[in-house]
Amino acid sequence: MFAAVALLGAIVAVVLVGTVGRYVGRPVVWSDEVAQALFIWLAMLAADLTLQRAGHFRIDVLVGLLPPRLRFLLELAIKVTIAVLLVFLVYYGMRLVRLSDPRPLPMTGVPSSFAAAALPVAYGLMIITVVEQIVRHWRGLPEVHGERDVM
């Protein structure tokens, strides 16, 4: 949570520096690149945080019509399926990181794998989140919901 808030602040600052720099005649060549590299981390960590609060948009009208027992099983199956998907995404995400490792970003020279690593890391965190939710679900505990809706 703290990391995501800090990243958001950092991105705003970097883009501002870039904009102001252009106007005072000292363009900051690395600002776009750094902002984008930070952005993928922000986006992916935020996606996990949203998952923790069950904030990803879903259509639950049909599910609501099912009898409780069936609904319990369906919800369980959905969570397990998502966990399996995430395992694949982590695996292939790591391959992408390995592939992109030797390629430096044009301005800063930082290996682009630093940015690409956001994918497997965040998918990994999401696995933890989903497994947690499966355990809660199994014990019959209610889902954790955010108090605020999205957009």
Residues that bind another protein (CB under 8 A): 1, 4-5, 8-9, 11-12, 15-16, 18-19, 32, 35-36, 39-40, 42-51, 53, 55-63, 74-75, 78, 81-82, 85, 88-89, 92-93, 95-96, 99-100, 115-116, 118-119, 146, 148-151
| Residue 55 vs 124, nearer CB to another protein | 55
| Residue 24 vs 62, nearer CB to another protein | 62
Segment holding 112, helix H or strand E: none
| Residue 49 in tokens | 């945080």
| Residue 11 vs 137, nearer CB to another protein | 11
- What is the spatial distance between Cα 11 and Cα 37, in angstroms, rounded to a whole number? 9
- What is the spatial distance between Cα 66 and Cα 79, in angstroms, rounded to a whole number? 17
Give one DSSP letter per residue of 50-102, joined into a string: HHHTT-S----HHHHHS-HHHHHHHHHHHHHHHHHHHHHHHHHHHHHHHHHTT
Min separation Cβ 135 and another protein, Å: 19
Min separation Cβ 42 and another protein, Å: 7
Min separation Cβ 30 and another protein, Å: 13
